[in-house]
Amino acid sequence: MSKTSEPRSYLVLENYIRGQFVPCQSHIDSYDPSTGEVYCKVPDSGEEEVEAAVAAAKDAFPGWSDRSPGQRAQILNKLADLIEANLDEFAQAESRDQGKTITFARTVDIPRSAYNFRFFASSALHHTTDCSQMDHMGCLNYTIRCPVGVAGLISPWNLPLYLLTWKIAPAIAAGNTVVAKPSEMTSVTAWMLCKLMQQAGVPPGVVNIVFGTGPKAGNAIVGHPDIPLISFTGSTATAQLITERSAPYCKKLSLELGGKNPAIVFADADLNQCIETTVRSSFSNQGEICLCTSRIYVERSIYPEFLERFVAAAKKWKTGDPTDDSNNNGALISKEHLEKVRSFVALAKSEGGVVHCGEGVDQLDLPERTANGYFMPATVITGMSDSSRVMQEEIFGPVTCISPFSTEDEAVSKGNGVRYGLSATVWSRDVGKVHRVARRLQAGLVWTNCWLVRDLNLPFGGMKNSGVGREGGKDSYHFFTEVKSVTIKH
């Protein structure tokens, strides 16, 4: 007698509109990157679902915007409390959905997601406005800031809840309502967040989350005439489409885009600290962070020692099952993305580059459960021309290239020699040098002798093709509000 296989059960997500979960007619397959298997069905939303979400957000706006910053802050703090109370559940879901290690999700993604709500709850209480007197004309001038209305928020797949909450928190703290779309590849923690909204006291329609693809759901959000503002994190190519699509409506745009971030290592750097940190900045989260280091320029006199020590450290950066706490990296987001990253390594080899470790050099020892997952070891390449696509384009994987330089001017020129300008790191004990180089580098963020140290009060964003606008404490408040000048004659 033949056995019939049990039908596989999937996690089926629903849109969250007007405080209710709403089923969708069609769905998209979502994969567990560590196994390569479909485990979740994500709504394939379009104009109809976005229209319903916008209507809900518009209806909720008057009541929400009338609340005081303190009243709104209480709800943001409650959301933070609830995320923290469910931290392990969120971390496990984020790891399975995105491929990152559960350790990274537990120590970085989810704590930061809670902190985003807590930070903007506090920040919103401390903004001030401008005032000027014109006594000779008997006038007093002052400014007020008003929420914009319905904010369209589109977040990426690399830090799913972390970057979604980075947008939702300041938007609603300022009194806006939102229609948000997370990546269709990593939607589960956004859906889990929706389950906490009512418990936290978020009124229906203040936060609406519509799941789906960029070309359908994202396009409907960006092109909706009643969404006056878009905050987007993702690729430069998609941002160009968003800019074109939103142009007829003169929407406010904040675009946080790609990076090809340099590390500049001078001969007087503390190499122990530098190598440990730069391995982490190159490969953390599988290299799938817009701020990751992908080009390392090392002063020629220490280049051989640096290269030897860096490759040795990279070989110790463990890649494997995301549920294993001993692993540093998990799986890349998708089969297509893994193939794209591998194609850059193949291109490097075809152009005469040397692959010192990682892809094609080191074999991964994966448990059977993850044999079909999208894994790639930390990869270090040398010998590339500055004009190569490997050195010019964002790879967004566990790949970094190392090159020597001779002078400070050459280092700055190489660092600035790409179309991106998101972040950079500088390693030197010379205080004057780090100030000088930081000023000359074309990057929105420059870290010296450290990486990814973030004060959320400060502006975040990039130059050149790495974005438009800044977000952070005051910058987010300015973006999510409109300023109005008022003159009173007395």
List active site positions. 256
List phi, psi (to 5°) of 193.
-60, -40
List C-alpha distances in Å: 98 to 166, 183, 186, 241, 338.
Answer: 18, 10, 6, 25, 13
**298, 302, 308, 313 alpha-carbon torsion, rounded to 10°:** -60
Beta strand 15-17 with 20-22: parallel, antiparallel or unpaired?
antiparallel
- Residues 28-62 as b or e (16 or more Cβ within 10 Å = b): bebbbbbbbeebbbbbbbbeebbbbbbbbbbebbe
User: Residue 366 in 3-state DSSP?
Assistant: coil
Return left, alpha or beta for 458; rule: phi > 0 is left, psi -120 to 50 is alpha, else beta: beta
List phi, psi (to 5°) of 127.
-80, 145
List C-alpha distances in Å: 26 to 190, 214, 222, 443.
Answer: 19, 15, 21, 42
41 bridge partner residues: 12, 29
Q: How far apart are CA 97 and CA 93, in angstroms?
A: 6
Q: How far apart are CA 413 and CA 408, in angstroms?
A: 9
**DSSP track, 93-151:** HHHHHH---HHHIIIIIHHHHHHHHHHHHHHTTS----EEEEGGGTEEEEEEEEE-SEE
What tokens does 121 get?
């709850």
Amino acid at site 345: V
